[in-house]
Amino acid sequence: MSLEHGERPIEEGVRTDLREALDYGTYLDLDRLLSAQHPVSRPEHPDELLFIVQHQTTELWFKLVLHELRGVRAHLDADDVARARKSLARVKHIFRTLTEQWSVLATLTPSEYVEFRDFLGPSSGFQSHQYRAVEFVLGNKNAGMLQVFDGHPEARAVLQELLESPTVYDALLAFLARHGHDVPAEVLDRDVRRAWVERPELVPVLATLYEDTATHWEGYAICEDLVDLEDAFQFWRFRHLRTVQRTIGFKTGTGGSSGVGFLQRALELTFFPELYAVRTGIRAPDQSHHRAPHRPDDTPRYHP
């Protein structure tokens, strides 16, 4: 069939009458999603829509990250390492996408942002309960943060539940203990409401995995997945810092934080400190041992 006037005919078989069927827009609730952007600047600044969409998109990705990390925890509890690693691989790719996304917001120049920034009032990314939830499930817990959400009971309840629940790292250590590794009892029985702090007594336990990967491949591989995840998270934090610095310099954040200084200190936080500490003392393997094969397809790695 030839094209007339540049029009491309609809293929035969494509369904066009969707009045009584589930269509794309209804399935994705696009009417509500696409009407959820409400600029507050007056007169409305043309770049405020970019600012809103950037942050709403981030929150959607955080929703999926939290879903996947809860899944990682459950899969480890069920000794299903393959599914746990699949979810971790997905989370790493999400953070790669989120990191690249900062380049879009970076097109907002300082002179453009300052024209509508004051209209934002005290609203700030500091108040993202989903970001806090992701940090909680990874181990950076802070009960004091709950008061920020006293006016949002549902958000506060999510954080309360995660505050009182084991982290992904707790689930990994319990998995290792069930599979014969000498994880100290005081680590397994720790108060999960507290932020994770480095436990030097864990380093020798992890060293057994890293020095004999052939015997302990599953445990070793998922430890490396967590390192990849932390790297991905830190790259995202760093791009956040640089984007804020190029847009507002060293101004105080809208929510009252020190802005760039606050974000700089966040880069010093680590979720899995022992997984970095173990690298310092790793010894060369006994050459009589069978070494683990190179399995690039089995250990998805994050590459910025």
Set out the domains of the chain in order of their start, with CATH numbers. 43-189+197-280 (1.20.58.480)
Task: Look at residue 179 and tell me whether its pLDDT is greater than 70.
Answer: yes
Strands (E), 80-130: none
Question: In this structure, is the dihedral angle defined by the CA atoms of residues 239, 240, 246 and 250, taken in order, positive or negative?
Answer: negative
DSSP state of 291: P
* Other CB atoms within 10 A of residue 45 CB: 18
Distance, CA of 2 to CA of 271 (rounded, Å): 61
The 10s digit of each residue's pLDDT in 115-162 is 999 999 999 888 999 999 999 999 999 999 999 999 999 999 999 999
Torsion of CA 94, 96, 102, 107, to 10 degrees: -110
Q: What's the rounded mean pLDDT across residues 191-197?
A: 97
SS3 category, 215: coil
115-119, 239-243, 250-254, 264-268: which has the highest mean pLDDT?
A: 115-119
pTM attached to this predicted model: 0.89
DSSP 2-68: --STTPPPPPTT-----TTS--HHHHTTHHHHTT------SSPPTTHHHHHHHHHHHHHHHHHHHHH
Residue count of the chain, please give it: 304
Distance, CA of 278 to CA of 210 (rounded, Å): 8
Task: Look at residue 285 and tell me whether its pLDDT is greater than 70.
Answer: no
**pLDDT for res 304:** 44
The 10s digit of each residue's pLDDT in 51-68 is 999 999 999 999 999 999
Cite the annotated binding site by residue number. Answer: 51-55, 113, 117, 240, 254
Cite the annotated binding site for heme by residue number. Answer: 240
Q: Which residue has the tokens 């302990």?
A: 216
Distance, CA of 88 to CA of 276 (rounded, Å): 18
**With contact defined as beta carbons under 8 Å apart, do 97 and 61 qualify?**
yes
Cite the annotated binding site for substrate by residue number. Answer: 51-55, 113, 117, 254
Phi/psi-derived region of residue 150, left when phi > 0, alpha when psi is between -120 and 50, beta in every other case: alpha
Distance, CA of 282 to CA of 143 (rounded, Å): 36
Q: What's the rounded mean pLDDT across residues 184-203?
A: 97
Percent of the chain with pLDDT over 90: 75
**With contact defined as beta carbons under 8 Å apart, do 75 and 216 qualify?**
no
The 10s digit of each residue's pLDDT in 70-108 is 999 999 999 999 999 999 999 999 999 999 999 999 999
DSSP 226-266: HHHHHHHHHHHHHHHHHHHHHHHTTPPPTTSS-THHHHHHH
Position 273 confidence tier, pLDDT thresholds 50, 70, 90? very high
